[in-house]
Amino acid sequence: MRRKADGSFEILEHCWRENGIVLYILYRHALLTQDLAWLRENWDIVKKVVRVIKLLRTKSRVDPQAPEAGLMPPGFPDGGIAGTIPEYTNVYWNLAGLKAAVEAARLIAAPELADWETEFKDFWAAFQTAAKRDAKPVGDNLVYLPILMKPQEGIDPVRGQWGFTHAVYPGKMFAAGDPLALGNMGLLDQHQKEGLVLGTGWLADGIWNYFGSFYGHAHLWLGHGEKAAEILYAFANHASPLRAWREEQLPKDTEKEGKFVGDMPHNWASAEFIRLTRNLLVLERGSELHYLEGIPRNWLAPGAVTEIKNVATDFGPTSMKLEVTADGTAAKLTVSAPQNAALTGIVVHLGAWAAEGKTAIQKKETGFEMTIPLVR
């Protein structure tokens, strides 16, 4: 176990976000396995980690005038930024983790729910105040939030923004129209190279390949499914001939050679590619399951079949099959949905690839079939 005596997690020094990550993982595991008994058995771990986050917030207030007051003590950002400094990556993940703990408490009707909700609201309010103070203009009347609370010479604003993308998803901290989220995404979009983001990792002039998953997930969560599908292909195009990835590399048109960062193969990248592919096809949004929100257009070629089988979701396993007719004029979608009272709605996204015309729907015992006319 990596847990310290006080119940905290700190594998990397001053990497406070590990506590928030643990809370999120415990909650998500309980949902994906539908094992609430397991969550109750491990509830003491959840309580101790929440207590650690509260203590870290108390430590951040030692100097009430410090930029991090009410948030997290100075921490290690990673993503191209070294040192222990006042920054937002640890804030983002502890907010997301505390939010997950609140939802976990709600899930099992834990007595800590009201107290943790109050703590989260206070934490979120402190973040909003700090974000307003530190935000910078990015164009189109939008602002972005640098990762560093105090700017450092030579640190580009895109550095460390992995923390923001994680706050968007899986943290689910920002709604689709949130101005700060749109501003941060605008900043990342302005730094695209070869379809991914340039300079957001340790190589200032390089591409962090599996940041493509973080970037794609953020666009997907904010409602930009078509853009997320484009990012999936850009991510794929940076794989080796053996379908593996290095963590960071230079763009192919650079004059430099042999400059890279990370192991080869970098298996985190492989996991992220699978995760993004899954979520483009089926994604949990609150109490709903959303299908085909980011399906790539070229997966709708005549005769194409796209299928997922018994994929775990927050509501139980689901299967989906999309079969395009040989002439490409229509597609049949078959969905087997989880039978869970917590699942209140199913949404099928018919993007620009769906033609105008009648969409026939037929209910089945555990789901439905629908025929979708396609744009030819």
pLDDT of residue 260: 80
Q: Are residues 280 and 293 in the same domain?
A: no
Q: Are residues 8 and 101 in the same domain?
A: yes
Structural domain tally of the chain? 3
Q: What percent of the chain has pLDDT over 70?
A: 99
Q: Are residues 67 and 128 in the same domain?
A: yes
Kindly state whether residue 143 falls inside one of the protein's structural domains.
no
Kindly state whether residue 140 falls inside one of the protein's structural domains.
no
Kindly state whether residue 168 falls inside one of the protein's structural domains.
no
pLDDT of residue 261: 82
Q: What percent of the chain has pLDDT over 90?
A: 84
Q: Are residues 202 and 189 in the same domain?
A: yes
Where among 256, 284, 312 does a domain terminate? 284
Kindly state whether residue 55 falls inside one of the protein's structural domains.
yes
Q: Give the range of the structural domain holding residue 79, as residue numbers without chain letter.
A: 1-134
CA-nearest of 262, 214, 205, 204 to 234 is 214
Q: Are residues 266 and 297 in the same domain?
A: no
Whole-number mean pLDDT of the chain? 94
pLDDT at 347 over 70: yes
pTM of the model: 0.95
318: which 2 tokens? 């689901």
Where among 233, 259, 284 does a domain terminate? 284
Mean pLDDT, residues 77-105: 96
| Number of CB atoms found within 10 A of residue 296's CB | 17
Q: Are residues 307 and 181 in the same domain?
A: no
- Determine the Cα–Cα distance for residues 93 and 167; give it in Å rounded to an integer: 7
